[in-house]
Amino acid sequence: MNDASLSHVFDVDQQTFEADVLQASLTTPVLLDFWATWCEPCKTLGPMLEKLAAEYNGAFRLGKVDVDTQQELAGMFGVRSIPTVVLVKDGQVLDGFTGALPAGQLREFLSRHVQPLEAADEAVEEEAVPETPEQAIDRLQQAIAAGPDKPELKLELALALMRGGQTEAAEAALTALPANLAIDARAVRLRSELDLAHALKDAPTLAELQQRVQADASNWAARDQLGVRLLLEGEPAAGLDQFLAILQNARDWNEGQGKKRLLAAFATLDDAELVSRYRRKMASLLF
């Protein structure tokens, strides 16, 4: 690691994760590099990421996570192979990839979310007037018509359709994405949002679901729908509590539905403190 990148690269552990990653990402994006000393591709990717951290001059910080010593953190992020890189922004996972990408693809990945610090003022100016979902849909549809060979635009359109409340159109656009974009972190979040919305199709009312759970605490199907309804109707903590109850008492029910619901909820919530708190609760039940 060279001197220029020292101030932008740091080690991450369970004790510092909330402050140095989740809270810090509210002001500066944090790129997490999950690695290990025995991982040969990590030895290629790590120095490239450190070089980019120096080049971007504080536009993002690079957090190094040794999966051998920080197994709980690796589990929380669902890391299955290394190197895995995850971008955290505003307390949420925004994007990520697995494997040692070449330098050109690394730059392309970063350019989608952050700009070198010198360009920060220009970026803020461009974002001064928020675009409505309807405006975004119209802009993206025109851009796709003009450049149909740009699949990235199709993912952005799917996200805009979801923000505009057009869930069926959003799902159709998501399904049509090419394989490389289907695993993009934004596509994964959108899929989670759609799954939660589908869970309430033909579901009973909130009051009826509460009555069913009160009558039978082990009615996991009712508890699951109650959790989703609470989550989507403005009571996220209460909804997460229902999923935790399923995870604690019926971990294997419906192929691990409790854990799946928690992970889907984490992917859709913007409250970093709430997500961090319930990630710890979930981890305490799993590890």
Active site residues: 39, 42
Q: What token pair was written down for 157?
A: 């359109």
**Ordered alpha helix ranges (H), the chain:** 17, 40-56, 71-76, 103-111, 120-126, 133-146, 151-163, 167-175, 179-182, 185-199, 206-215, 220-232, 236-249, 257-268, 272-286
CA angle 262, 75, 260 (to 5 degrees): 25
Burial 218-234 (b: 16+ CB within 10 A, else e): eebebbbbbbbbbbbee
Q: Would you call 128 helix, strand, or coil by DSSP?
A: coil
Q: How far, in Å, are 71, 82, 116, 286 from residue 107 at the CA level? A: 28, 19, 11, 36
Please give the Cα distance from 188 to 148 (Å, whole number): 22
Q: Which helix (H) or strand (E) holds 93?
A: strand 92-98
